[in-house]
A and B are shown apart, each in its own frame.
Chain A
């Protein structure tokens, strides 16, 4: 079928729109269009915009899900700033994001450049580095609690062999958050690397060759040709990984569950606890709304900045 049509000459004349029955046709077109678009649109919007609006109303109540909700106005929002748990959760999320995002961009780019080389075993390397991405965050978390187990985990065994003092890792309030960043990087870097790799392969070879002919060093080619070409991808990755970091939940749920001593309790984990463990639905929704506002401001900010500086990611 497609072959016959593909063989059709490309210069098929476009029919000019006729004036007769224009309105009836427009109505039919709208009906057809919605027939195509409506089912998916209804599901996507119904499962996000509608509950998001509902969440706003919940956020202005005090409600345990059973007794009638009591309207409290903006009080839930005012309480967030005075809630030490919320402030701590925000700090943990901030630390996690500030390490995770730059690390995943730099490492992802480095790995992509390495994987773009034409050397032996490259297929093997690619497979190895991408495969953790398909493992679920839940399974990754369970595996990580084993690898980083202070008593018999492989991580401490490696440290011991290298003569470095062994660590408590996920059981230490000081280290747990950083270990979680490491684990998240392990699971997510494949994605960043793939995206950068594709972008690298899209860079026109003539550009690079011309620069080399002009006598540019490899480093200069990278800095002045490759990096600018990668900009849109970097903007995208920054946004994507910021959202990933800010919404990191599964990994925390299957490693520390917010502990030890709440040291890995992030904002999203706190929301989950408020809503589903302590049944404070109104307050939980308020914290969730604040997170949404921050995410949106960040995203819009990055997009605005990248537009202003002339990159075409969005």
Chain B
């Protein structure tokens, strides 16, 4: 990969390409190499000088990973954890977001302030007591330990609140004049309009819960209850040099999200933008 140097003369194409093309390759080539390496044999990987393209699609890495680890179990666990996290986020954060945006009730200010305050608390401070709480609740070494921290989040509440604040209040007033209860107004008038915000929230929660390492690492030691991230990290700890297997595991853990990103790129970018501009 040669690094292009800017030339003084006018180019037949925009000069920005000279910056963007190498950058794009730096960002995407490692991922390409990850996929290609997962199809190599150990001999190919250890070759010198290293090769990028496997001689053919060797499945040894995947086969070894499937027989020597619980990767299928980990995948299912991760899907369960993320599904629960996304559904719970959508329900609870929309409700709370609407409450904080539109309903006036005693204690609202303090409750919202407390939620704002939680953002500054580093996860590492919470690790020890949360582990102890989980131990007392009897959910250590269960999948619940992985999804309970993702049932709702301050970010989710902000996001939905911000969205509801941006809606014109007239619609809800009209519904109320027609005799709708607050819940009815919320479910049949407000929620249908909230789809874009909910898509953003769903993507945010999917990314966070799917990629979370810390909580399951701290609270789960039974390797049939691992999520993909913990499973991979522990698998790496014992097989530092089995690169084909490790890359196969990486592919299994990242490909679903990468594919989702490629399919719904606009939505993902909207999510990232939102967490940046308003989170």
User: A residues bordering B, Cβ < 8 Å?
Assistant: 1-2, 5-6, 8, 10, 12, 14-15, 26, 29-41, 43-45, 47-52, 54-55, 58, 65, 110-111, 114-115, 117, 119-122, 124-139, 142-147, 151-154, 157-158, 160-161, 186, 190-192, 194-195, 197-199, 233, 236-237, 240, 243, 246-247, 249-250, 253-254, 267-268, 271-272, 275-276, 281, 284-285, 288-289, 291-292, 295-296, 299
Contact = CB atoms under 8 A, between A and B. Distances in A.
A111 B23 contact: yes
A29 B37 contact: no
Nearest to A29: B105
A282 B274 CA distance: 38
A5 B29 CA distance: 50
B57 interface: no
A37 B111 contact: yes
Contacts of B156: 40
A21 B156 CA distance: 35
Interface centre among B47, B268, B277 (most CB of A within 10 A): B277
A130 B260 CA distance: 13
A180 B119 CA distance: 25
B125 A250 contact: no
B10 interface: no
Contact of A152 (B47, B188, B192): B47
B124 A247 contact: yes
A202 B183 CA distance: 35
A191 B122 contact: no
B229 A136 contact: yes
A142 B156 CA distance: 30
Contacts of B4: none
The 7 closest A-B pairs by CB, nearest first: A33-B105, A195-B276, A36-B99, A136-B211, A40-B96, A51-B129, A37-B99
A183 B253 CA distance: 18
Contact of A8 (B126, B174, B207, B272): B174
A203 B133 CA distance: 48
Q: Is the interface of B mostly helix, strand, loop or mixed?
A: helix
Contacts of B218: 272, 276
Contact of B124 (A65, A249, A253): A249
B129 A55 contact: yes
A94 to B, nearest CB: 16
20 contacts: A1-B192, A30-B106, A37-B95, A37-B100, A39-B95, A47-B130, A48-B121, A114-B19, A121-B20, A129-B23, A132-B31, A135-B211, A136-B210, A137-B213, A143-B30, A146-B33, A192-B276, A267-B124, A268-B124, A272-B218
Interface residues of B, number: 112
Contacts of A38: 96
Nearest to A43: B152
A54 B247 CA distance: 40
B176 to A, nearest CB: 8
Given A5-B175, A55-B128, A194 B276 contact: yes
Contacts of A50: 129
A48 B125 CA distance: 9
A2 B45 CA distance: 58
B125 A12 contact: no
Contact of B236 (A40, A41, A142, A191): A142
A81 B49 CA distance: 48
A78 B70 CA distance: 45
B232 A1 contact: no
Contact of B173 (A14, A110, A271, A272): A14
Interface centre among B50, B105, B214 (most CB of A within 10 A): B105
B27 A132 contact: yes
Contacts of B105: 29-34, 37
Contacts of A281: 128
B269 interface: yes
B261 A130 contact: yes
B122 A146 contact: no
A29 to B, nearest CB: 6
B50 A154 contact: yes
A143 B247 contact: yes
A142 B127 contact: no
Contact of A271 (B124, B232, B233, B273): B124
Nearest to A274: B128
Contacts of A127: 262, 265
Interface in B225-255: 229, 232-233, 236, 243, 246-247, 249-250, 253-254
B199 interface: no
A160 B120 CA distance: 44
A53 B219 CA distance: 20
